[in-house]
Amino acid sequence: MAEPFRARLPIPEELTGARLSIPVREAEVPIMPGAPTRMWTYGGTFPGPTVRRPAGRRTEVTFHHELPRSVGELTVHLHGGHNRSQFDGQPGGLTPAHARSFFCDVPRGLSARQSGNDLLLEPGGKRTYVYDLMEDGRPERAAFQWYHDHRLDHTSRNVWHGLAGMWIVEDELEGSLPLPRGERDIPLMIADRSFDRHNQLTDPFTNRRPPNDGINARDVLVNGAYMPYHRVTAQRYRFRILNVSQFRPYNLYLSNGAPMVQIGTESGLMPRPVGRRELMLGPAERAEVVVDFAGAGGEMVELRSGPRHGARNPLGTRPYIGALMQFRVGARRLPDRTRLPRQLRPLPAWTQHVSDKPKQSWEISIGGLFKTTWLINGKTFNPARADAHPKLGTTETWEIVNRTDVAHMMHIHATDWYLLSRNGKPPPAWEDCLKETFFVYPRERLLLAGRFSDYTGKFVIHCHMLDHEDHGLMTQFEVTKP
Ligand code: C2O
Ligand code: CU
């Protein structure tokens, strides 16, 4: 076992330009003490570089596929972005390199267009993704997003090997708030991984079938380091926390009992801050919190994950138990000009007149003729099929119903959602805002409203427990012209 709190917290390199080029390549990444780990990376590091861009400024990223041919085609999804369908990281279909799907009913003989194969990133090739960072005709809301691979059947494997990086969109409203910034604004990517005795990633993907296909790995990494430490001053900090684990949630708290004040979700700033003693974060969820170390001068404070108080814990909701990292707080008292504003970002106007009658229902179940697969409305993923056709410029209410005994983490591409209720009850304060990834407990029914703006085309909806996604728990909707 490696010793905790020996490694410094890595802060990934930031890219800020309008035209970026990111090689997707193998690299020897120092992760555990001793030998480096051979990984598939964006730009040679894990996590990949953090892109930081102003809202409303077009950003073009060219990814160069330099991984071995055997990895097959790739596709990049900017998770949380509001982007054109063709730049949204479509999973694609079958190809000569990937001739059959074990869990999804992908028809053979689809054209490149029908399957989305025309949008894939071929081995040895490159592809430029264009992101306008606009929404509803205006600059997108500032938010903590991330990018990762999204290939049919192989998303879990590709992300496990390292294909994930963070992406921060900034805007004027956020910039005008007195929140901590610069060195006191720190993105934290949490990922669990298992290593063999040569420090190489294990291969946990064979012989896994729904409902037992969730991968819990042994070691937890923060920004690619095993239980790192970070020196902080006795002041306020902003932490942007992202869970990229395949399956595992974290129920976060601070070892000194200090509150974390949540200011943001996947969809950026909330209407107002919400104090949290513990904060549950499932795969792909993000929480932005402000922590004040002023009362902890000279102390060591651990960011930990522990059992939840007064909660059911069905499969898929059992948090990791243990420390994730340590903050070493400087002893010096320092003035702090940051503040926690009482109001952050108001909800968009459309959230005020939404229907509570769902126009579309998504039912999660488990089944399959010859083997078990995850299903949405009785079907697995087929890139040529769309199961809903919302009209551009409209707002719709959808319901998500979980008919399985496992919790799922539903993520909807293209837009952000306003959660109306869980089993008929209004959501807690930290979910009474925009989000795009949601826990759905066994037998639970979620009602949410979203607005389809700017772009027509196909977008996926899926479980972000990555093996569930690969094993059928994904489908599509197609935004159509009014
Ligand atoms: Cu983070 Cu469809 O994915
Ligand atoms: Cu799931």
pLDDT score for 310: 81
Q: pLDDT tens across 18-32, in order?
A: 999 999 999 999 999
Q: pLDDT tens across 254-285, in order?
A: 999 999 999 999 999 999 999 999 999 999 99
Q: Any idea which ligand is nearest the CA of 148?
A: 1
Find the 56 Cα to ligand 1 centroid distance in Å.
22
Q: Are 43 and 238 in contact (CB under 8 A)?
A: no
Assess whether 132 and 217 both reside in one domain: no
Q: Are strands 286-292 and 236-243 parallel, antiparallel or unpaired?
A: antiparallel
Closest approach atom of ligand 1 to CA 148: 1
Q: Is the CB of 460 within 6 Å of ligand 1?
A: yes
- Does a structural domain hold residue 193? yes
- Segment 112-116 mean pLDDT: 97
Q: Are 406 and 463 in contact (CB under 8 A)?
A: no
Find the 165 Cα to ligand 1 centroid distance in Å.
13
- Does a structural domain hold residue 341? no
Q: Are 38 and 65 in contact (CB under 8 A)?
A: no
How many separate domains does the chain show? 3
For 468, the 3-state DSSP assignment is helix
Assess whether 161 and 188 both reside in one domain: no
Query: For residues 334 and 348, what is the distance between their CA atoms, to the nearest angstrom?
Result: 37
- Does a structural domain hold residue 243? yes
Assess whether 21 and 162 both reside in one domain: yes
For 188, the 3-state DSSP assignment is strand
- Does a structural domain hold residue 430? yes
- Does a structural domain hold residue 342? no
* Domain-terminating residue out of 333, 365, 393: 333
Q: Which residue has the tokens 């909660």?
A: 311
Alpha helices in 199-332 (DSSP H): none
Tokens of 258: 């200090």
Assess whether 374 and 427 both reside in one domain: yes
Q: What is the CATH number of the domain that holds 311?
A: 2.60.40.420
Q: Is the CB of 411 within 6 Å of ligand 1?
A: yes
Query: For residues 172 and 15, what is the distance between their CA atoms, to the nearest angstrom?
Result: 19
Which protein residue's CA is at the shortest distance from atom 3 of ligand 1?
A: 79
In a 13 Å sphere around the CA of 478, the CA atoms on its Cβ side amount to: 9
Closest approach atom of ligand 1 to CA 79: 1
Q: pLDDT tens across 287-328, in order?
A: 999 999 999 999 999 999 999 988 889 999 999 999 999 999
Assess whether 123 and 250 both reside in one domain: no
Find the 54 Cα to ligand 2 centroid distance in Å.
33
Q: Is the CB of 462 within 6 Å of ligand 1?
A: yes
Assess whether 115 and 41 both reside in one domain: yes
- Segment 209-218 mean pLDDT: 95
- Does a structural domain hold residue 472? yes
Assess whether 354 and 325 both reside in one domain: no
Q: Any idea which ligand is nearest the CA of 438?
A: 2
Q: Is the CB of 248 within 6 Å of ligand 1?
A: no
Assess whether 65 and 194 both reside in one domain: no
* Domain-terminating residue out of 124, 149, 173: 173
- Does a structural domain hold residue 404? yes
Per-residue pLDDT band for 382 (boundaries 50, 70, 90) equals very high
- Does a structural domain hold residue 32? yes
* Domain-terminating residue out of 173, 198, 214: 173
Assess whether 245 and 304 both reside in one domain: yes
Query: For residues 124 and 7, what is the distance between their CA atoms, to the nearest angstrom?
Result: 35
Query: For residues 324 and 48, what is the distance between their CA atoms, to the nearest angstrom?
Result: 20
Is the peptide bond between 348 and the residue preceding it cis, with omega within 30 degrees of 0?
no
Q: Any idea which ligand is nearest the CA of 81?
A: 1
* 446 closest CA partner among 401, 387, 404, 386: 401
Sequence-ordered list of residues with C-beta below 8 angstroms from that of 358, at least 6 positions apart, any chain: 397, 398, 399, 447
Assess whether 150 and 288 both reside in one domain: no
Assess whether 67 and 33 both reside in one domain: yes
Query: Which DSSP category does 45 fall into?
Result: B
For 173, the 3-state DSSP assignment is helix
DSSP assignments along 187-239, one per residue = EEEEEEE-B-TTSPBP-TTTT--TTS-----SEEEETTEES-EEEEEESEEEE
Q: Are 461 and 413 in contact (CB under 8 A)?
A: yes
Q: pLDDT tens across 388-412, in order?
A: 999 999 999 999 999 999 999 999 9
pTM beyond 0.95, yes or no:
yes
Find the 89 Cα to ligand 1 centroid distance in Å.
9
What's phi and psi for 118, nearest 5 deg?
Answer: -70, -10
Give residue 124's domain range: 14-173
Is the peptide bond between 47 and the residue preceding it cis, with omega within 30 degrees of 0?
yes
Assess whether 163 and 211 both reside in one domain: no
